[in-house]
A and B are shown apart, each in its own frame.
Chain A
Amino acid sequence: DIQMTQSPSSLSASVGDRVTITCQASQDMSNYLNWYQQKPGKAPKLLIYDASNLQTGVPSRFSGSRSGADFSFTISSLQPEDIATYYCQQYDTLFLTFGGGTKVEIK
Chain B
Amino acid sequence: QVQLQESGPGLVKPSETLSLTCSVSGGSISANTYYWAWIRQPPGKGLEWIGSIYYTGDTYYNPSLKRRVTISIDMSKNQFSLNLKSVTAADTAVYYCARLVVEVGRGGMDVWGQGTTVTVSS
- A-side residues, CB < 8 A to B, are 1, 32, 34, 36, 38, 43-46, 48-50, 53, 55, 87, 89, 91, 94-101
Q: A96-B52, A98-B47, A101-B46 are in contact. Are A44 and B109 (CB under 8 A)?
A: yes
Q: How far is the CA of A46 from the CA of B47 in the complex (A)?
A: 14
B74 close to A (CB within 8 Å)? no
For the complex, would chain B's binding face be called helix, strand, loop or mixed by DSSP majority?
strand
CB <8 Å contact, B112 and A95: no
Q: Which range contains the number of B residues in contact with the other chain?
A: 20 to 34
CB <8 Å contact, B47 and A91: no
CB <8 Å contact, B108 and A98: no
Q: Please name all residues of chain B whose beta carbon is closer than 8 Å to the beta carbon of A44 when the two chains form the complex.
A: 47, 96, 109, 112
CB <8 Å contact, A100 and B109: no
Q: List 9 A-B contacts (CB under 8 A).
A: A44-B112, A45-B112, A46-B109, A50-B107, A87-B46, A89-B49, A89-B109, A91-B102, A95-B49
